[in-house]
Amino acid sequence: MRFKTLMIIVALIVVSFSASPAEAWQKNKSKPKPDLISGNWATSLVAAGNSTFTLTMKLKLEGDKLTGSYESDHVGSGKISKGTWAANKLSLTLETNHGPITLTGDLKQGKLAGKFNSGPMQGTWQANKK
C-alpha cells in the first residue's frame, strides 16, 4: 500500500511540473508579423510626360484591410477606400474631388511602389515611410 501511495504522489508531482496544454500551445503559437504598412508615407505619383505630384498617405492596417487618409496640394485631402494588403501586395483607392485614383503595388526594401490609374491618367508611384 505504501508503494502505491508513493507512486501516486510521484505522479502528481510530475504532472504539476509539466506544462499544461494551453501553455504548450502558447509557446508553439507563431508570433504575429510586424506591421510594416501602418504609418505616414511620403508619396510621389509620376504620370506620362513626367508630370509629378506628391501627397502624404496615412495608412492603418487591420488584418488585410487597409484604411486611412491622404493630403496633397494637387488633389486636396480625403479618405482612402477599398484598401487591401495581402501576399505583400497593396491595393487602395484615393477618393478625390477629381475622381478616384487607384494605386496597386508592393513593398520592397521598406518602400512601397507600383502603378496608379485615375481613368484619364496612368503612371507609376512610390512611397517612403516618414
**Is residue 14 assigned to a domain?**
no
Specify the number of domains making up the chain: 1
Place of cell 505583400: 88
**Is residue 30 assigned to a domain?**
no
Q: Tens place of pLDDT for every residue, the chain, 130 residues?
A: 666 665 666 665 655 665 555 565 565 566 667 899 999 999 999 998 889 999 999 999 999 999 999 999 988 999 999 999 998 899 999 999 989 999 999 999 999 999 999 998 999 999 999 9
**Is residue 45 assigned to a domain?**
yes
**Is residue 18 assigned to a domain?**
no
Q: Does the predicted model carry a pTM greater than 0.95?
A: no
54: cell is 506628391
**Is residue 98 assigned to a domain?**
yes
Domain extent at residue 45: 39-129
Contact 93, 81 (CB under 8 A): yes
The CATH number that applies at residue 111 is 2.40.128.120
**Is residue 87 assigned to a domain?**
yes
